[in-house]
Structure 1
Amino acid sequence: MERGGPRLLLLLVAAAAAQYEEYSFRGFPRSELVPLQSAYAAALEQYEGERWKESARGLEASLRLHRLLRDSEAHCHRECAGGGAQPAAAQEEEEEWGRELELFGHVLQRAACLRRCKRGLPVFQLRYPPAETLRDFQRRAPYQYLHYALFKANKVEKAVSAAHTFLQKNPKHEMTLKYLNYYRTMLDVDEYLVDLEAQPYETVFVRSVKLYNSGDFRSSIADMEHALAEYYKAYENCLAGCEGAYELREFKDFYPAIADHFVDVLQCKVDCEADLTPNVGGYFVEKFVATMYHYLQFAYYKLNDVKNAVQSVSSYMLFDPADEVMQQNLVYYRFYRERWHLEDDDFSPRPEALQYHNQTAVQKKLLDFAKQYLQADDEMEVAEGAEPDGRDLPTDSEFEGQGDYEEGFFAEWWQEPKSKGDKADQGY
């Protein structure tokens, strides 16, 4: 049985360069340590004053500072994850105060660990940036200014990379698409289409898909397993970045104040899944984690590694249990289980997939509860399609014509497996 997958275009993501060439988490120059908000505001002020070279340098410095802050948060999160003695589980008959104290005992241990860790990192001695500034960097707003500042400074190659980096999270931003079309009239842009914020798993995933489409299933599996591991690392780092400083907006009672902080953190953590979804050829890869297990199932089956294929199917089904083709695959594997010496445990999802699924599901459930019962009607609304305001950006008239950006940008098709290890490949 076959099911044609959505056809996505393939772009080989290059390694990050430009402002991160000299970046070092441990060896960050103290001379460049300034508050992120101050550095970013100064760069935008220079932008408004049309001091293009100074603005570009300031924006690149701001991006390095933001990465340092993000990496520092992730470092302390790893250092303190599970650190210290865990409080003993409360007995069912124990009173509520006992369970509450055990919970807050764990919170205090974690807070003490984080305080010790952050005390030793210079970036945390600086004023923490406000949430609005962090949101700008999350949606890559600095790159919209950076690419134009670089263009005006006659650094078109770097401008192409900056514009492309912005488009990876904002692929339908018409003005920036026009900029790239205009740059195409000036030089061959293909080699400069580099995502400067690409995560390690993105390049490996794309390479795995290319290998899959060429029929090299063994190499495709190796890369896809690597991509999975790197994605889970990036996800943990994203969660860590959500646990930064909290801005008190109003005075509230103890429990409502804790709930407000927790809901803000929870919203950020729920957003991690979407924030880490890669853009391949102008399309976001929906259900990205499930898609990786999808490829693994078929590739393992092709190599007659049925145990790993079955675990990949079960892992995929966590995220898309209604998939009829995968349901049929499971029936097929169970029917021939004796031939392949499959045990009941072989039909269990992989542990890391189960943990990720459960974690994201509980986070979403808690956030839905908070939105329904804890927030006023005008709160907890996440702005969709928010874009940085233009600061004297060029007008449409400077970039006439649509150009052929997409034709040059996209290299080749990639798609889901046409079959998932089911009847299309049964040789029995």
Structure 2
Amino acid sequence: MLSLLLLLLLLPARGCVEAPGLAKLPRLAPLQSPDLLYADGVRAYATGAWERAVALLREALRSRAEVGRARRDCGARCAAEPGTELPPVPSSDPGSDLSPGPWERLLLRAALRRAECVSQCAARRLGPRGAAGHRVVRALQNAFRRREPYNYLQRAYYKLKKLDLAVAAAHTFYVANPKHLQIREDLVKYHRMSGVRRQSFRDLEKPLHWVAYDEGLELLKRQEVAAALPLLEEALRESLAQMENCRAQCEGPEEQLTEEEEKEEEGEAQPDSQSGLYEAIAGHWIRVLQCRQRCPGAVATRPGQDSPISDFLPIQLWQLQKAHAQVGNLSQAMENALSILLFYPEDEAVKGTLNKYQKLLGEQRPDLSAREDIRHFVFQSLGEKKLLYYAMIHLGTSFKDPDPWTPDDLIPEGLRKKLREDQEKRPWDSKLPEPESLAKWRDSHFLDGVTLTQDAGQLNGSERAVLDGLLTPAECEILLQLAKDAAKTGDGYRSRRSPHTPHELFEGLTVLRAAQLARAGAVGRRGAKLLLEASERARNLTQAYFSPEWPLHLSFTHLVCRSAIDVGSSISMMTSRVGTCSLLSQMPSL
């Protein structure tokens, strides 16, 4: 009862206006486990106790964030404590203080002291049981990662008539789940409601590095380079900070459990932790290193996306060096360009850019070097890769290097050929995702008035669909008039007026020819423009249904009119012939 009272006190008073975003909650002492709070919040939601559900779910989000901060802060502080630093590599000299015997004792003492420090720090921050009392099972980890608490929150806020917070929570959930049909329908309804402001559609969980990065890119597009520079610098700093946060999470107990489960499911060979002390230590440490190596990819992946932006850090450095050069900061431009060479030492474009800056400076600057934060990241990552490749050779573990910039000489010769074959595997060798069923798509509207009426099963084939309502009746009349004025007999069928049977007449018009005729004044511009717009609508709908993960490109669009010669009736249809689907690289040329 006391717990319920405390949670209800977290709610704002009736009639008060909450600040944008979710208002910060006062801390409950001791901090409760996020999985228990989440489970209680879902139960409250199921019973219609909306206020209690909001309080519990928000406290679950805050608790999870606090556990992550505590682990990061305690790890960083204890690593800097005297007596917790790890000893140097042991010496082969028997008389040395760092010979294998003394070195082992130094290592064990440092590990014990750091463990003691981390445990005490976590107990102060999280309660007597520390991090061990806040383990989250894998299913709930995934629920938080998918931002599922926000889906419950948006419905609860809607029931409480707090539209601004409901819309913000709904949008936050949608960003991480763009294919979720229910949330898409909810957002459409929110858009149509009176009193809902455009500013309400905001992402409450957007990582800071994406906020700064996107704002910086927007300013660059508007040629406001001086204003963009601080944001681009902030984006890089926050990206590196997020990676450190991720690395700290890799040392947590629940993350270790998750990694172990993932490896077992994938059937990857791991050291047998029951074999002995050193095998167990090696197995645990390898899992930590594997987790750390995935952190750059996690930071480079936008919420709701399945894959990261390749070479995210070099991309940011390239943008920074260009921006610094445009405002006259040539020294900073050179530092960022030199930092790119840490990833790609032989990149000719970067070397040429450095030579150009050197000539503009007019003097040698031996004091200029790569950024220290980037140097630390690269050397740290390469050191971890060396250990993981060693484990692959000698312990039979597996490691899929996520970085394209890893130097070849770092990879053991016996592994290079296999890894090169894996990297060169064509993306189209993998199976394309199956289109979703009609039941899921029937109520999904990609454009107003467009519905899916038949799917592949009903059409007795694969990759088939009928979408109705692409054009309004008025737009159909415009295209019919365009075809009447400009369609050419046999166009698109090698000038054959009856390519299939002698009982029908085919006439056609391409987008290019319609544009040329409109420019010459032979047909109305409105019809030619509508033909192009209708083609783009068809492309968007086809991509959304068949290949939402890959861009779809049209190679040919044709307005076709078919007339029965005997009867004289006319049927109009538009077909789009689709070319090969291809993935677009997001990495600019350096």
Fold similarity call, TM over 0.5:
yes
| Mapping for residues 94-133 of structure 1, pairs under 5 Å | 94=94, 95-123=99-127, 125=129, 127-132=133-138, 133=140
Structure (1/2) with the larger helix percentage? 1
**Alignment deviations for residues 281-309 of structure 1 (CA, whole Å, 9 cap, x no partner):** 98965433222211110011112322211
CA contact (8 A) 1:181 1:403 kept: no
Higher mean displacement: 265-274 or 366-375: 366-375
Counterparts of 1:149 and 1:371, CA distance in 2:
50
Counterparts of 1:49 and 1:322, CA distance in 2:
63
Counterparts of 1:371 and 1:23, CA distance in 2:
47
TM-score, normalised with respect to structure 2: 0.54
Structure 2 residue 192 is the aligned partner of structure 1 residue 185: yes
Counterparts of 1:53 and 1:396, CA distance in 2:
32
CA contact (8 A) 2:219 2:228 kept: yes
CA contact (8 A) 1:165 1:194 kept: yes
1:49 Cα deviation from its structure 2 partner? 4.5
Q: 1:83 to 1:207 in 2, by over 3 A?
A: same
TM-score, normalised with respect to structure 1: 0.72
1:352 aligns with one of 362, 373, 382: 373
SS of the residue aligned with 2:370? coil
SS of the residue aligned with 1:121? helix
CA contact (8 A) 1:68 1:123 kept: no
Aligned residue type for 1:261: H
CA contact (8 A) 1:80 1:110 kept: yes
| Mapping for residues 266-277 of structure 1, pairs under 5 Å | 266-277=289-300
Structure 2 residue 247 is the aligned partner of structure 1 residue 239: yes
Aligned residue type for 1:91: S
1:65 Cα deviation from its structure 2 partner? 0.9
Aligned residue type for 2:24: E
Aligned residue type for 2:381: T
Structure 2 residue 166 is the aligned partner of structure 1 residue 159: yes
Counterparts of 1:399 and 1:202, CA distance in 2:
32
1:30 Cα deviation from its structure 2 partner? 1.9
Count of matched residue pairs: 371
1:176 Cα deviation from its structure 2 partner? 3.5
Counterparts of 2:363 and 2:181, CA distance in 1:
55
Q: 1:349 to 1:146 in 2, by over 3 A?
A: same
| Mapping for residues 338-349 of structure 1, pairs under 5 Å | 339-346=361-368, 348-349=369-370
Higher mean displacement: 365-374 or 126-135: 365-374
1:71 Cα deviation from its structure 2 partner? 1.6
Root-mean-square deviation (Å): 3.8
CA contact (8 A) 2:297 2:308 kept: no
Q: 1:143 to 1:116 in 2, by over 3 A?
A: same
Tell me: higher relative CO, structure 1 or 2? Use CA pairs within 8 A at least 6 residues apart. Answer: 1
1:352 Cα deviation from its structure 2 partner? 0.6
Aligned residue type for 2:72: A
Q: 1:254 to 1:419 in 2, by over 3 A?
A: closer
**Alignment deviations for residues 82-111 of structure 1 (CA, whole Å, 9 cap, x no partner):** 221446534342543343333333322321
Counterparts of 2:180 and 2:380, CA distance in 1:
33
Structure 2 residue 65 is the aligned partner of structure 1 residue 58: no
1:315 Cα deviation from its structure 2 partner? 1.2
Identity between Structure 1 and Structure 2 (%): 26
Q: Which residue of 2 aligns with 1:257?
A: 280
* Structure 1 gap segments, 5+ residues each: 1-15, 378-394, 408-415, 421-428
* Structure 2 gap segments, 5+ residues each: 1-18, 261-271, 399-438, 449-539, 541-585
CA contact (8 A) 1:298 1:417 kept: no
CA contact (8 A) 1:307 1:342 kept: no
| Mapping for residues 214-229 of structure 1, pairs under 5 Å | 214-229=222-237
Q: Which residue of 2 aligns with 1:401?
A: 445
Q: 1:56 to 1:309 in 2, by over 3 A?
A: same
Counterparts of 1:258 and 1:343, CA distance in 2:
46
Counterparts of 2:296 and 2:61, CA distance in 1:
22
**Alignment deviations for residues 109-142 of structure 1 (CA, whole Å, 9 cap, x no partner):** 3212212312322346362223413343234333
Counterparts of 2:365 and 2:248, CA distance in 1:
38
Q: 1:100 to 1:17 in 2, by over 3 A?
A: farther
CA contact (8 A) 2:335 2:370 kept: yes
CA contact (8 A) 1:298 1:419 kept: no
**Alignment deviations for residues 346-384 of structure 1 (CA, whole Å, 9 cap, x no partner):** 2x321110111222344455456657765789xxxxxxx
Structure with max Cα Rg: 2
Counterparts of 1:152 and 1:368, CA distance in 2:
54
Counterparts of 2:321 and 2:59, CA distance in 1:
43
Structure 2 residue 29 is the aligned partner of structure 1 residue 30: yes
Q: Which residue of 1 aligns with 2:67?
A: 69
Counterparts of 1:318 and 1:174, CA distance in 2:
44
Counterparts of 2:314 and 2:125, CA distance in 1:
37
Aligned residue type for 2:226: R
SS of the residue aligned with 1:355? helix
CA contact (8 A) 2:147 2:176 kept: yes
Q: 1:396 to 1:77 in 2, by over 3 A?
A: same
Counterparts of 1:375 and 1:39, CA distance in 2:
41
CA contact (8 A) 2:33 2:134 kept: yes
